[in-house]
Structure 1
Amino acid sequence: MSFNAVTFGVFLSLFLLVTGMGFVASRWRRANDLNHLDEWALGGRGFGGFVTWFLLGGDLYSAYTLIAVPAAIFSIGAFGFYAVPNAVVLYSLGFLFLPKLVRLAHEKGYVTLTDFVNDRFKSPTLGLAITLTGLLATLPYLALQLIGLEVIFASMGLNFGPQASWFLNHLPLFVAFGVLAAYTYSSGIRAPALIAFLKDGLTYIVVIVAVIVIPIKLGGFGNIFADAGEVIAARNNTTDPEAAAISVNASIYMTLALGSGMAFFLYPHAITGVFAARGAKTVRRNMSVLPIYTVLLGLVALLGMMALAAGIKPLNGNPQFAVPQLLIEMFPSWFVGVAFAAIAMSALVPAAIMAIGAGNLVSRNIIRQFSRKDISNHRETSISKIVSVLIKVGALVFVLTLDSQFALNFQLLGGIWILQTIPTVLLGLFTVRFADRHALLAGWAVGIAYGTIAAYNVTSATASHFGGSTAVPFFMSSPMYIAISALILNLVITLTWSLVATTLRRDRPRPDTPQSDRPAERDEIGTATPAPAN
């Protein structure tokens, strides 16, 4: 694509503004001590409803979301709208369990989800499984944000052609990475929290203007859907445009929406944003009002239909360029600069929180937990800061050395893996007496193994492995999202094993030991009830 000085000038001005905000954020809501993990990683656990709303919105709706959702519509039609009901599941589940989890985090000082699991089940092995799952699921998620940045830079013509050096062509990404790493290290979660105000504000403006102006230029939504249907019908060699536009496998659509929604608040970066809230009431209120963002997501998805109707031919046939090219064609250069800056900010905000969440897992739940030496709070925070930079370096290497399709495959696996932690979280929150830690670990392992093998075996017209996220499980006749089928196996093993283990404990003969001398078994967190002898 050709370089436009006006577009780049507006983009650069806003990028510099964001950079300044990132560094100034260390003085915003001044911390007592940024060398304490509670302050650096969680903002002192003092973010109220307004800040939390923007922070979680910035965390949820990333650059890749803004690019990938309309790209899915552009590629496969109506099926791509699964992302909208996905958000309904997301907030409903969050309303159910997040307030209680946040209350416990405040009372007991949890920084990560592993802290909760360790406290609840007293199993270092189960806690380590949750930690490693979170880390492995975060890396490709972070890499996708960098891919989103690359799409924006390429759309602005910030490349110097095949004759230029590899380093020169990737220089914009290196600069963005350096800025992101620097202000995250300096300001912690306060940086993305402050930037989220500007990011979300600009995103709303751009999307609202786009869904008003573009339909006017294309003759209205009726024409848009009719023209998009014809394009999809021609692509699918169908004579019925309407049938081509709405043909969606119900079981796949439902399970994909359900699984994607159930998984999000299990990611380390999502939990980091939630734990930064002031309390359970703040989180509960946010789960009630965050669905407003779902309206925005639905409007973003419509941009894919508009790109189809406008006859956009994406660069190199890559549908990720559909929305950037649509904006370039429909709007003046200065507005395109604003739009591209909003998308870039949508990469920087979640990327910063992802790096912080990963750093917390390594410093708190690997190094501090398994170290033979005492780790001070200052040292723990320093480790988290360093890891937050290293995890970004890993994501950058991931993007620059591997094919982008590999990142997408890894992200597919990350979604399958992270969903296998939900039995541990929900059973730990609501019924720990029934949940057996060995059963949870076995269910997690089976779910991970089955999901990985099933995803590897999926084929498509362009791939012999990892050709998609859906398959027909051996225990059903209909195709479904692999993460859900893996979760079903996980739950069957976990619940069956737990039921047997609970029955055996109940039926086991008790020695003639006074009640007061037997060890206590945790029932609800913070309380204890007499336990049967082992």
Structure 2
Amino acid sequence: MTGEHLTELIIFGVLFLLVSGMGFVAARWRRPTTMESLDEWGLGGRNFGTWVSWFLIGGDLYTAYTFVAVPALVFGAGAAGFYAVPYTIVVYPLVFLVLIRLWSVSHVHGFVTPADFVRARFGSPTLALVVAITGIVATMPYIALQLVGIEAVLKAMGITGHLPIVIAFGILAAYTYQSGLRAPALIAFVKDVLIYLVIIVAVLYIPSKLGGWGNIFDSAQAKFDKTPVPSDGILLNGTNQLNYAMLALGSALALFLYPHSITGVLASKNRDVIKRNMAALPAYSFVLGLIALLGFMAIAANVKPIVTDGKPDTNTVVPVLFDQMFPSWFTGVAYAAVGIGALVPAAIMSIAAANLFTRNIYREYLRKDATEAQEAKVSKLVSLVVKVGAVACILLLDPQFSIDLQLIGGVVILQTLPAVALGLVTRWFHRGALIAGWAAGLAVGLWMLYQIPNPAKGKAHFGGSAYPLGELGLDTKMTVYVGMLALAVNLVIAVLGTLVLRAAKVADGEDATQASDYVADEGDPKVKKELDLASST
């Protein structure tokens, strides 16, 4: 660390410690008689109103990694990096009706995880198990990537080594263990205020120092014109338009399949809270669009990514841009916004993954008679293990490999769509066919990802998510998102498998839910009933 970054470091440290203190105080916020249940520790008492839910869900979905990775992608690839903007716009109309059905049936039966719902809907512990494992596997690298955001900021301040990250996540683990979901819910207020402040200042102040928006876009176009890659530029072209659309759609379909997204929804107090949030959350997408433009600003400012181990780390372009453009005191605030932006989603993700293990592995297969207090204790301990695993990803693996894991995670979590999302609107699928479809989609998706190289980074495999349609025998240079191709295979197998199993009269599981369960709301006596997983078939 050099003395020139002392002011940034002090401001970053003070704000980081402030929100950490809020995390511990959160245990007393809306404190119930006891925290010894997943309803209280893992879902905040299922009683968050519109404002708290808006900050919690928004803080969960728009992460620190988004803050650094989206502009970095725009910096390197141009218009293709803006796929995150349309996908976070179309997702809310897509899930509007589905999520309120999930909220209702979960509150009637006491479901804590999406795998709980699948267990009851299809009467299949095995299907619930694969959904739970899929959720945990897809979530783990997502948590690790929050560390990438913090690490990018620390590098910009001249801090090397992993000790600061270990300390930061140690503090996060401590207050999450104590306060549960209440901690990220409270911290989300500060996180979002800081991010809105920094982005609004950035889009007003930085262009004025770079000669205006015209010069910014001209500089970006000039940079892309010099590169031999045909798919980059400030506009899309014929080779990447289809992939852009499918990547946006696939990402939208996957977003609320992630366990941490569902956790934020289930913590809401009633259906109207979810409706209002699905209508209001696109406001974050506006901010995300502004965040993406930081990539073009970095090009105009001639930002050079920090080099680590001989390789430029493009995730540092935003922190370096802030360091070049802002006075040191405001740079510290901006760095804190990124750092704190990692705490909220990391906490929710670890809680969601822990709840999946507790409900759908520990209680289902290890201790069917577990009490609520025992469930809460196991989830607390597992949430610590999950965070340790995330830190290990950064300490033991190349961070770029962690990014590849998250890329795989999106394809993986999409394979739970037939059981979870479609299961909320129909019981037509056979449980055996859903398992077969999941396995087929997963196998095809991983095989396609393995086949994709990235010569620019010297990778022969797992070099991206855009699969060339020419590899399927089509005479075209267009590519398409692997996740959508894998999901198509999944659905075809699930449909055909259901028809075959029904024709063969293979026994199916019993549906423990009723039609009225999907429309129950706050105040309905049915929402007081608790789920007894051990009694369902």
**TM-score for both structures, normalised by structure 2:** 0.90
1:197 paired with 2:189, answer yes
Residues in 2 aligned to 1:460 and 1:371: alpha-carbon distance in whole angstroms = 43
Secondary structure of 1:245's aligned partner: coil
Letter in 2 for 1:352: A
8 Å contact 1:202–1:339 — kept in the other structure? yes
Would you say 1:296 and 2:281 are equivalent positions? no
Please say if 1:267 is aligned against 2:267.
no
Q: Partners in 2 of 1:502 and 1:494 — Cα distance?
A: 12
Match of 1:171 in 2: 163
Preserved contact between residue 89 and residue 262 of structure 1 (Cα < 8 Å): no
2:468 to 456, 467, 472: 472
Larger radius of gyration: 1
Structure 1 position 403 matched with structure 2 position 398: yes
Q: Tell me how far apart the structure 2 counterparts of residues 118 and 406 of structure 1 sit (CA, whole Å).
A: 33
Contact 1:120 1:525 (8 Å CA) reproduced: no
Identify the residue that residue 235 of structure 1 maps to in structure 2. Answer: 227
C-alpha separation in 2, matches of 1:403 and 1:521: 45
Q: Distance in 2 between matches of 1:347 and 1:123?
A: 36
Distance 2:446 2:320 in 1: 35
Flag the 1:447–1:476 CA change in 2: closer, same or farther, 3 A. Answer: farther
Report the alpha carbon displacement of residue 243 of structure 1 after superposing the two structures with TM: 8.7
* Residue in 1 that maps onto 2:126: 125
1:312 aligns with 2:316: no
SS at 1:284 equivalent? helix
TM (norm. structure 1) is 0.91
CA-based RMSD: 2.0
Q: How big is the shift at 1:284? A: 1.2
Aligned residue number for residue 459 of structure 2: 463
Q: Comparing 96-105 with 465-474, which one deviates more in the overlay? A: 465-474
For 1:13 and 1:76, the matched residues in 2 are separated by 35
The answer to whether the 8 Å contact 1:233/1:245 transfers is no
> Which of 429, 444, 449 is the matching residue for 2:424?
429
Distance 2:440 2:271 in 1: 33
1:209 counterpart residue number: 201
Shift, 1:430, TM fit: 1.1
Partner letter of residue 351 of structure 2? I
Distance 1:344-1:520 versus aligned 2 partners, 3 A rule: closer
Give CA-to-partner distance per residue, 1:318-370, whole Å, 9 cap, x none: 21111101100101111011001010111010000011001101111100111
Amino acid at match of 1:310: A
Q: Which moved more, 1:169-178 or 1:180-189?
A: 169-178
**CA positional deviation for 1:373:** 5.2
Change (3 A) 1:445 1:26: same
- Cα deviation, residue 412, structure 1: 1.3
SS at match of 1:266: coil
1:233 positional shift: 1.1
Give per-residue Cα distances to partners, 1:198-232, cap 9 Å, x unaligned.
00001000000000001111111111101111011
Give the C-alpha shift of residue 504 in structure 1. 5.2
Distance in 1 of aligned mates of 2:243 and 2:511? 42
Q: Is the 8 A contact 2:305 2:313 kept in 1?
A: yes
- 1:465 is paired with a residue of what secondary structure? coil
Give CA deviations for 1:123-157 in whole Å, capped at 9, x if unaligned. 11101000000010011000100111111111111
Deviations 1:34-53 (A, max 9, x none): 11110001010000010000
Q: Once the 2 structures are TM-superposed, how far is the Cα of residue 96 of structure 1 from its aligned partner?
A: 2.8
Superposed counterparts of 1:41-190, under 5 Å: 41-159=42-160, 169-190=161-182
Matching residue of 1:165: none
Percent identical among aligned pairs is: 50
**CA 1:138/1:237 → structure 2, altered by over 3 Å: closer, same or farther?**
closer
The residue that corresponds to 1:532 in the other structure is none
Counterpart of 1:277 (choices 260, 268, 293) is 268
**Separation in 2, partners of 1:441, 1:476:** 29
Deviation at 1:372, TM superposition (A): 4.7
Amino acid at match of 1:176: A
Opposite residue 42 of structure 1, the aligned amino acid is L
Q: Residue 311 of structure 1: SS of its match in structure 2?
A: coil
Matched, 1:355 2:347: no
**Maintained 8 Å contact 2:80/2:232:** no
| 1:501, distance to aligned residue in structure 2 (A) | 3.5
Shifted more, 490-499 versus 72-81: the winner is 490-499
The answer to whether the 8 A contact 1:63-1:347 is kept is yes
Decide whether aligned partners of structure 1 residues 523 and 332 sit closer, same or farther in structure 2, where only a CA change above 3 A counts: closer
Q: Which letter does structure 1 place at the counterpart of 2:373?
A: H
Q: CA deviation at 1:281?
A: 1.4
Distance (Å, rounded) in 2 between the aligned partners of 1:402 and 1:102: 38
What's the secondary structure of 1:235's corresponding residue? coil
More deviation in 474-483 or 77-86?
A: 474-483
Counterparts of 1:360-379 in structure 2 under 5 Å?
Answer: 360-372=355-367, 374-379=369-374
Per the alignment, do residues 332 and 481 of structure 1 end up closer, same or farther by CA in structure 2, a change over 3 Å counting? same
| Residues 376, 346 of structure 1: alpha-carbon distance in 2 compared, 3 angstrom cutoff | same
The unaligned stretches of length 5 or more in structure 1 are 160-168, 509-518, 528-534
Q: 1:246 aligns with which of 235, 254, 264?
A: 235
Q: Which has the higher contact order (CA 8 A, sep 6+)?
A: 2
- Aligned equivalents of 1:44, 1:295: Cα separation in 2: 31
Task: Report the alpha carbon displacement of residue 526 of structure 1 after superposing the two structures with TM.
Answer: 6.0
What letter matches 1:34 in structure 2?
A: M
1:303 shift after superposition: 0.3
Matched residues in 2 for 1:27 and 1:83: separation?
36
1:491 paired residue number: 491
* CA distance in structure 2 between the aligned counterparts of 1:326 and 1:470, rounded to whole angstroms: 29
Judge conservation of contact 1:106–1:279 (CA < 8 Å) in 2.
no
Give, in whole Å, the separation in 2 of the partners of 1:98 and 1:158. Answer: 42
Q: Distance in 1 between matches of 2:85 and 2:108?
A: 34
